[in-house]
Amino acid sequence: MNALLSFYRGESANPEGRKLEDIWIWQRDRLENVHNYIQWLFPLPEPSRFNATAPLLDEEVIQAFLSNKELRKRLFRSFKLMLDFYGLQCVTSKELGVQISKAANFHSRKQFWLRPMNHNHLRITRILRSLTLLGLRAYSKSFLTCLQELYQEDPKAIDPKTMEFWEKAV
């Protein structure tokens, strides 16, 4: 069985011995300081420069996510974890669809990522692209819209090149 699918189904741990459910309950400081989990939460087809054991998306995995609502729900839970880390929230409604916006903790959380050349910008690129590839495009697009609004509010906090990468990721 595919290691990434097994990990996302909660059937096995990654090479570091972490199960998906374990990562979901990490404290924010651990999410900030550990750098080899994000590739498991938000896989891509390209190898990671930072994690040699990171899984790669292939057509089998992409199709599994696209055809399996439970896998997408688990991906969404991973996304919500990272939104909380960034001080953002997701609200869905029939009238407005998916909306990502500042959460109550935004002002205390933005210091950890909303500044130029922050490593979390690479994580965000990964999140946007992974969500798009794995069937959560509406969430990826809404996240990008929120990031664009934050960029408009404080253009110095995000490098224009970073914004270009984010736009291409979606």
Question: Counting every residue, how long is the chain?
Answer: 170
Radius of gyration of the chain (CA): 15
- Using DSSP bridges, classify how beta strands 88-93 and 97-102 pair: parallel, antiparallel or unpaired: antiparallel
Q: Residue 102 pairs with which residues in a beta bridge?
A: 88
Confidence of residue 170 (pLDDT cuts 50, 70, 90): very high
The per-residue pLDDT for range 13-72, each reduced to its tens digit, is: 999 999 999 999 999 999 999 999 999 999 999 999 888 889 999 999 999 999 999 999
In the predicted model, is pLDDT for residue 86 greater than 90?
Answer: yes
Beta carbons of 59 and 4 less than 8 angstroms apart: no
Determine the average pLDDT of the residues in 116-139: 97
